[in-house]
Amino acid sequence: MTCGMVRVAQAWNDREGPAVFATVDKAGIPNAIYVGEIWLDALDDFVVADNYFCKTRANIQSGTKGAILFLTKNRKSFQVKGSISYHTEGPRFEFMRAHHDAKHPGIAAAVLRIEEAYNGAEKLI
């Protein structure tokens, strides 16, 4: 794990509130949603439960990259960016299903592979 990834993981463990998950459609129009069922897994990826995606799912299936933005308890912002894969079966799907709240549908797992990370304007990765 790189030094930058360690800082992201530490910040994630000190986060407050939901995260923002942003994608872009084929026409370049952004879409951002709040996500509560999101986990940083041991493979340096963020796993997001697709509970109620609509535009987000369509954007992911069209090959968009994405970003996740979150705040720490001391109001420091962190943003990660990367490619997104979509899983309706397999290990990433099972990881999501094992961690998600059963009151939500857990349709699929969207996995953002961290390719860049920022703390405010400071590039970490």
Q: How confident is the model at residue 67 (pLDDT cuts 50, 70, 90)?
A: very high
From the centroid of its chain, how far is CA 88? 16
Task: Identify the domain containing residue 83 by its residue range.
Answer: 3-123
Residue-wise pLDDT for 72-89, tens only, equals 999 999 999 999 999 999
CATH of the domain at 12: 2.30.110.10
d(CA 121, CA 78): 9
Q: How confident is the model at residue 1 (pLDDT cuts 50, 70, 90)?
A: low
Please compute the mean of the pLDDT values over residues 90-103 and round it to a whole number.
Answer: 96
Q: Which of 55, 74, 71, 85 is nearest to 118 (CA)?
A: 71
| Residue 3, amino acid | C
**The total number of structural domains that make up the chain:** 1
